[in-house]
Chains A and B, each alone.
Chain A
Amino acid sequence: MDFALTEEQQMFRDMFRSFAQKEIAKVAEHADKTEQVPPELLSKAAEQGMLGALVPDNFGGAALDPISYALLMEEIGRACLSTAVVVACHTSLVTQAVLDFGSDAQKKYWLPMLASGQSIGAFALTEPDAGSDTHSLATRARRTDDGNVLNGVKTWVTNAGIAGVFLVVASSDPRANGRGLSAFLVEKDTPGLKVGQRDLTLGLRGASVHTVYLDNVHVPEANRLGAEGDGQAMVEHVLAHYRLALAAAGLGLGAAAVEAGVKFAAERIQFGGPIANKQAIQNYIADSSAQVEALRYLVYHTAWQAEQGSHLASGAMYAKLFAAQATRFVTDKMVQVHGGYGYIEDYPIARLYRNARSLDLLGGTGELMRVGIAINLFKSQQLEISP
C-alpha cells in the first residue's frame, strides 16, 4: 500500500493551501461576522478553477481526481468551513448531479456556467416534514403539455441566496413511496420560484441558507435531470459525494483547531510555565490529534475508493459520521485549552467550535449515517432493516 500523494497531488495541495491561507483564511472571521462569504472571494476561487473542480476540462473545469478534490476541500475547510460548504454544495451536489445524470445537451449548457462560477448551484431537497425521511417529500411535480409544474416548499436550501440555479427534488408520484422522485434544474428568475427568509445559524454563518417557495413553477422537460423516478438514486449518489467533501473539510477544520490549541498551549504561561506542561492539556491535544489522524486516513481512503470507481455511499457515511464526532471532540477540547479566550469571538477557536457542530447535521444527521451503515452491514446477513 502506497500512502504517498502523487507529485501532482502534492503540487495541488500546496497550491490549494497557499490560496486558502492567503485568500480565504483572512476573511473567515469577517464572513462569520457579516454572515456572507465575500462574492470577490468566490470569484477568485472560480478563477483558480475551484468551482469547477470536478468538471472535465473540455467544459472549462479543473478535472480533479477524487483525492485532489478532497485535498482542496481539506484546505478550504482549514481556512473557513462556511466557504467549504458553499463550494461543496455547488460542486458535490449540483455539479456532480449534472455530471453523472445530465444528458449531453444539459452538460454542454450547464457545466461551463457552473465551472466558471457564473452560476452557483443550490440544492433543494429538505422540506418542513421531510428531513431525515425523504420519502415524505411533498413538493409535487406535475406533467403538463410543455413540461412540468412544481409546487411546494423547500427548507435549509444551501446557497439559495447566491444561486443562479436550483437543483430541486420533487415527487412525481407520492404513492410510489420514494421511488417517484425526480430532479429538476430551475434557474434563478423562473416565475414562481421565490427565495424566502434566511436561516440564521449557530455557525456556518457565511453560508446563505434559505427557505425556497415553488408556486406553480413551470420547468421545461429539458430541465429534468435524469429520468422520471431517478430522483432517489440521484440524491443518494450526490449526497455521498457531498458527505465525503464535508468530511474532508471537517478534517481541515480539525487540523486547524489542533494547531491553534498547540500554539496557545505553548505560549500561555500559567503556574510558572506554558500550560503545555500540564498533563491534562497534553492529553486533550494528544487525543484530539489522534482523532484528526484517524479522520485523515478515513477521508483519503474513501477518496481513493472513489477514484477506484467503488460505490461511494458506504465509505462516505463512515467518513462523515466520524468527521462530525471527531471535529466536535477536537474543537470542544481546543476551546477548553484556550480557557476564557476560547469563549471570546476575537479568537478563531470559538468560531471553529460553532462551525464544527454543523457536521453532525449537514448532509444527513449522524443518526441517519448510523442507520445507513447498519443497513449495509446487515445486508451481508441477508437481513433488511429499516430506519
Chain B
Amino acid sequence: MDFTFAPEYVALRKMFREFAEEEVRPLAKTIDREHRVPHETLKKGAKIGLLGVPFPTKYGGMGAGETGYCIMMEEFGRVCTSTITNIGAHIGIGAMAIYLDGTEAQKNKYLTPLASGEKIAAFALTEPNAGSDAAAIRTRAVREGDSYFLDGSKIYITNGPIADIVSVFAVTDPSLGARGGVTAFIVETNWEGFKVGTLENKMGIRGSSTSELIFDNLRVPQENILGQTGLGFITAMKTLDLGRVSLGAGCLGGAQAALEAAMQWAKARNQFGASIAAKQSIQWMVADIACEIEALRSLVYRTAWMADSGQPFSREAAMCKLYGSEVASRTINKALQIHGSLGYSRDHPIERAWRDARISEIFEGTNEIQRTVIASELFKEIGVRVRS
C-alpha cells in the first residue's frame, strides 16, 4: 500500500493552493456580503483548466480524475465554501452526469465546453415535494414525435441562475415511478420554456446562487436524452455518488483551515498570563479535531482512489459526505469557540465558515439519506433488506 500522492498530484495541489490563496481568498468575504457569484475567479480558473479537473483530456478536461478533483475541492474548501459550491455543482454533478452517461456526441457537444469553463452546468433533481424522497418528483416529460416537452419546476438548484446547460430529471412514465419511469435530459437554458425562478436567501454559501427552475412546455430534442430512457434515476444516483466524495474533500479543507486558524489564534491570544494554547480545554479541542481530520483525510482519498481505479465506492462515498459534513460542522464550531466573541463577528472568517458549513449536512442528499444508504448496504451484505 502506498499512501503517498503521485508527484503530479503534489504539483497540482501546489498550484491549487496558490490559486486559492491569490484568487479565491481575497473575494471570499465580499461575495458573502454582496450575495454574488465570483464570476471573475471562475473565468480565471477556467483558463488553467480548473473547471474540468476530473474529465479526460480528450474532452478538454485536465485528466486528473476524482483524486485530482478532490485535491482541488480540498484546497479551495480551505478558503471559500461558496466557491467550491459553485464549482461542485458545475463539475461534480452538472457536467459529471453527462460524462458518466452521455453518448460520445453528447460529450463532444456539451462536456467539452463545460470542461473548458466556456459554459456552466447545473444538476436539477430536487422539487418542492421531492427532497430526500427524490423518487417523488413530478416534473413531467411528455413525448411528441422526436421531442419531449417538459413541464414542472425544480427548487434549490445551485447555479440555477447562471447555468448554460442543466442535467434535468423528469418523469417519462408516471406508472413506473423511479424504477423505469424517470429520464435524464440535457437542457440548454436558452431554450424556449426555460425560466429561472426565485433566488433563495440562504444562511450561508451566499457567494453561490441557488434558485428555482421552471419548465413551461420546454421542448427537448430526443437526442438530448441522457443515458437510457426510463433509467434516469440510475444516472442521478451514480452522479451523486461521485459528488459526495468531492464534497467530503471540500469539508476536509474547511475543517483543516479552521483548525489552523484556531491554533494560530490560540497561540496569539493571551489571557490569564499565558497564551490560551496552554489551556487543556483548548488543547483537547485541537487534539480531537485533528483526529477527526486525519480520519476524514484517509476516508476521502481512499474513496477517490477506489473511484479512479474502477472499484465500487457507493457506500464509501456516502461515508465521505456524512462524515465529512459532520466533521466540518463540529470542527468549525469548536474553532469558533476557541476564537471567543471574535468568532461571532462578521468581520472574522470563522463566522462565515460556520454559516457555510451547515449546508453540507443537508444538500446533495441529507445525512439521513446517507445513513440510510450506508445502513442498507451494510445489512445487504448479511442478507437483510432494509427500506427507508
Contacts and interface: CB of A to CB of B under 8 A. Distances in A.
Interface of A: 126, 129-133, 135-136, 155-156, 199-203, 269-271, 278, 280-281, 328, 332, 335-336, 339-340, 342-346, 350, 353-354, 357-358, 360-361, 365-367, 370, 386-387
B209 to A, nearest CB: 14
B42 interface: no
B362 A343 contact: yes
Contact of B341 (A129, A131, A366, A387): A131
18 contacts: A130-B271, A132-B271, A135-B272, A199-B345, A201-B351, A202-B344, A271-B136, A271-B388, A328-B333, A339-B131, A339-B132, A340-B155, A340-B362, A343-B358, A344-B202, A345-B201, A353-B203, A386-B272
Contact of B354 (A135, A202, A269, A339): A202
A340 B362 CA distance: 6
Contacts of A386: 272
A344 B368 contact: no
B366 A339 contact: yes
A353 B358 contact: yes
Helix, strand, loop or mixed for chain B's interface?
mixed
Given A340-B363, A370-B281, A345 B203 contact: yes
A270 B131 contact: yes
Nearest to A350: B203
B118 interface: no
B126 A131 contact: no
Residues of B in contact with A, size category: 35 or more
B270 interface: yes
B341 A336 contact: no
A280 B366 CA distance: 12
Given A353-B358, A354-B355, A366 B131 contact: no
Interface string B99-137: 000000000000000000000000000100111110010
A96 B313 CA distance: 61
Closest 4 CB pairs of A and B: A133-B271, A270-B133, A200-B346, A350-B203
Given A129-B270, A131-B271, A344 B201 contact: yes
B156 interface: yes
Contacts of A203: 344
Contacts of B174: none
Contacts of B371: 280
B303 to A, nearest CB: 24
B347 A200 contact: yes
A336 B366 contact: yes
B362 A201 contact: no
B26 interface: no
Nearest to B201: A345
A368 to B, nearest CB: 10
A139 B351 CA distance: 28
